[in-house]
Amino acid sequence: MTKAELVEKVTALGDLTRRDGEVIVDAMFEAVIGALRAGDKIEIRGFGSFRTRQRKPRIGRNPKTGARVDVPAKRVPFFKPSKELRDMMNPPSQATT
């Protein structure tokens, strides 16, 4: 699903214009990004949680030349789905007796 498709879904939920849908989706994304930049954790019940993880510096390799490359430490976003979402994606199999 693309951002434009998400805007269309939000717009279809109510009596909203496309611009209203864009504002809602943009506000949601900006809130999540702002919280992650501030180092906060975001929890959306029934969906999952977003947070940042710290990656250590390491030595990598340039795949083209094989030369060693220093990769600096960095923070990366991480999403952990909720149990409810995982269960929806992988429903228990229907056992027949």
Span 17-37, pLDDT tens digits:
999 999 999 999 999 999 999
CA–CA dist 22, 7 (Å, integer):
6
Put the strands of the sheet holding 48-55 in their side by side order: 42-44, 48-55, 74-81
pLDDT digits (tens, 9 = 90+) for 38-53: 999 999 999 999 999 9
- For the domain covering 3-89, report its CATH number: 4.10.520.10
pLDDT of residue 94: 56
Q: Residue ranges of the domains in the chain?
A: 3-89
Instruction: Output the pTM of the full model.
Output: 0.74
Q: Hey, which residues does 11 pair with through a beta bridge?
A: none
Q: Write out pLDDT tens, residues 43-91.
A: 999 999 999 999 999 999 999 999 999 999 999 999 999 999 999 998 8
The amino acid that residue 95 corresponds to is A
**Tokens standing for residue 42:** 């975001």
